[in-house]
Structure 1
Amino acid sequence: MIDATKSLTKQQSIRKLNVWNRTSDLRIAFLFLTPSLILFSVFLFYPLIKTLFYSFHLTNAQGEASVFVGLENYQYLLTDPSFYQSIKSTCLFTLYTVPASICISLFLALLANEKLRGIGVFRVLFSSTMGISVAASAVIWLFLFHPSVGVFNNILGILHLPTIEWLISQKWALISVSIPTIWMNIGFSFLVILGGLQNIDTTLYESASIDGASYFYKLRKVTLPMLSPTLFFIATVTLINAVQSFGQIDILTKGGPNNATNLIVYSIYKEAFVNYQFGTASAQAIVLFIFIFIATILQFKFTERKVHYQ
């Protein structure tokens, strides 16, 4: 009986000690997480909650909530043709930029991964767009697209082809804005993909070469499967960046012509800081958040299945 009591007391002591250790670990973990939680709360959670709050109100010119209107701001968006146009333009812009950025970056990374003399120079050139700001890049492309003195129209003139009104034509404006965006995305995507290529085990290529595999067979069966986590990451980041594009739109087209390049982020900016309709702008921001959230979940659900983790 005494032995059983001692055993029960010992088990209770061990149980209390385990609980104390777990509590201590939680306290230490929370202590280390506190700086990150503060930053996230100030710059992410609080703005999100505030935006959600404003989306249910009408605001004055100072951006202060004045009248609670419930879902009227969202109902207004559902009947606003310009909002549907901004969604359409955003989807087309994403379709133009994301696949092209990934494919071009992958092609350049495959070239730069070859062990050739002087290849480092090309690696620097291919990644150089990452070091240029969006504003500076947009100004450069603004001159390239100029209808009279721009390089592109001068080349078309030399070839005796009709010139194109790149930024002021409703047909070409969105494509014209997509080209600089692709160019700006290449630098970051190229570096990440090149890093992924250099982390692939070379013995896989050696084994394939011994079996007589061609370059394209190794690319399809070795490189792309082993590179799939990197490509998945690049696809997710590029998609989010494309939906949130703003700087190049503001400098190149101001959302025109006829709202052809009025992406949803620029539409939010105009609604808030040009029309001073902060409630409607907040509703658009919430819609954008939901759109990005759903797109990311779908990408993880359907694309991650094909990702090959080592």
Structure 2
Amino acid sequence: MLDNVVKKKKGIWQQSLNWRTALLYLLPSLILFSVFLFYPMGKTLYLSFFLTDRQGEANVFVGLENYLYLLESEAFLKSIKATILFVLYTVPTGIIISLFLALLANEKLKGIGFFRTIFASTMGISVAASSVVWLFLFHPSVGFLNKIIASLGGQGVDWLLDPKWALLSVSITTIWMNIGFTFLIILGGIQNIDEHLYESAKIDGAGYFYQLRRITIPMLSPTLFFVITVSLINAFQTFGQVDILTQGGPSESTNLIVYSIYREAFVNYQFGTASAQSIFLFLCILVVTILQFKFGEKKVHYQ
């Protein structure tokens, strides 16, 4: 009886020691997350219920009025529409192009390494540098794109000045910027597929497109699932290229939610409504991610 009590106490002491050791290892991460994630998140939620001064300090408690104001704001509703369209423009198109380039780059051809480097090169270019390059390409008078159109007998397009074209122009820039990352991830996934699957399919007389549909895409589904999830989150958080190319214009056609938050907080100094928009954006990303895991993961084949 005494031995059982002693063993039980030793077990409890050992378990407590394991917990303390685990917390000690996790302490640096917990501190970083607390300073750069948990505290800002809590502060944002807190400020979303207040009217603030120009320094961002809470002045008057207004409860849910900031959220109700957003739902009635025409500018915010336009921002939501622009963000949804931007996500629809950039995510599917970027992934399809990256998949196509990865399939090309996976072919065993002489000099294919050069093309792999070219396809992935956009990943090494900053948002600011990429946006400036495209700013010149989209220029209405000296831009390269309008010169091509003029040489073909067409009329130049006001890419960044026309509300009908501005969001599409920013989307094209974003797709070009993100292709390098998605291309590398998808190419790595393709190269990890077992070659014996293709050899068996060739012996059975399967063609290229049958192999693509029955082997490549199913075996690549975990990689595609990851890329789609990350691309969706990144699309909702787009800021740099909007700030450099259009500043949310013209007529707020490119005023994505993140840029709207920036203008509300650091131009209009309305930190309360900006915080409410931030919470709304967080909930949007959370819902999209949950739906992605709930419905998208069912089509993922891990083996």
TM-score (norm 2): 0.98
Letter in 2 for 1:209: K
| Correspondence 1:191-206 to 2 at 5 A | 191-206=184-199
Secondary structure at 1:161 match in 2 = coil
- State the Cα RMSD in Å: 1.0
Letter in 1 for 2:226: F
4+ residue runs of structure 1 moved beyond 6 angstroms? none
- Partner of residue 263, structure 2: 270
Instruction: Report sequence identity in percent.
Output: 68
Aligned length: 303
1:12 positional shift: 3.5
Secondary structure at 2:217 match in 1 = helix
Letter in 2 for 1:67: V
CA distance in 1, matches of 2:18, 2:98: 44
Structure 1 spans left out of the alignment, 5+ residues: 1-7
CA distance in 2, matches of 1:201, 1:15: 50
1:271 positional shift: 0.4
1:16 positional shift: 3.1
Secondary structure at 1:66 match in 2 = strand
Residue 145 of structure 2: which of 146, 152, 162 is its match? 152
- Partner of residue 16, structure 1: 9
- Partner of residue 76, structure 1: 69
The yes-or-no answer on 1:34 pairing with 2:27 is: yes
- Partner of residue 174, structure 1: 167
1:73 positional shift: 0.7
| Correspondence 1:284-295 to 2 at 5 A | 284-295=277-288
1:146 positional shift: 0.3
1:163 positional shift: 1.2
Letter in 1 for 2:104: L
Structure 2 spans left out of the alignment, 5+ residues: none
CA distance in 1, matches of 2:206, 2:8: 60
- Partner of residue 214, structure 2: 221
- Partner of residue 255, structure 1: 248
The yes-or-no answer on 1:118 pairing with 2:111 is: yes
Residue 65 of structure 1: which of 58, 61, 71 is its match? 58
CA distance in 2, matches of 1:217, 1:17: 61
1:230 positional shift: 0.5
CA distance in 2, matches of 1:49, 1:217: 51
Greater CA drift, 107-116 or 25-34: 25-34
CA distance in 2, matches of 1:184, 1:20: 54
CA distance in 2, matches of 1:274, 1:111: 46
String of CA shifts for 1:56-101, please: whole Å, max 9, x gaps.
Answer: 1111111111111111111111110000000000000000000011
Higher Cα radius of gyration:
1
Secondary structure at 2:51 match in 1 = strand
CA distance in 2, matches of 1:146, 1:77: 34
String of CA shifts for 1:209-263, please: whole Å, max 9, x gaps.
Answer: 1111111111111111111011000000000000000000000001001000000
- Partner of residue 43, structure 2: 50
1:162 positional shift: 1.6
1:202 positional shift: 1.0
CA distance in 2, matches of 1:37, 1:287: 25
CA distance in 1, matches of 2:113, 2:236: 33
Letter in 1 for 2:20: R
1:28 positional shift: 1.7
CA distance in 2, matches of 1:39, 1:250: 29
The yes-or-no answer on 1:188 pairing with 2:198 is: no
Letter in 2 for 1:131: G
The yes-or-no answer on 1:87 pairing with 2:80 is: yes
- Partner of residue 304, structure 1: 297
- Partner of residue 202, structure 2: 209
CA distance in 1, matches of 2:277, 2:192: 41
1:9 positional shift: 3.6
Letter in 2 for 1:61: R
1:24 positional shift: 2.2
String of CA shifts for 1:178-202, please: whole Å, max 9, x gaps.
Answer: 0010001100001111111111111
Letter in 2 for 1:282: S
1:42 positional shift: 0.5
- Partner of residue 3, structure 1: none
Letter in 2 for 1:268: I
CA distance in 2, matches of 1:31, 1:206: 50
Secondary structure at 2:139 match in 1 = coil
Secondary structure at 2:163 match in 1 = coil
- Partner of residue 103, structure 1: 96
Secondary structure at 1:172 match in 2 = helix
Greater CA drift, 85-94 or 21-30: 21-30
Letter in 2 for 1:256: G
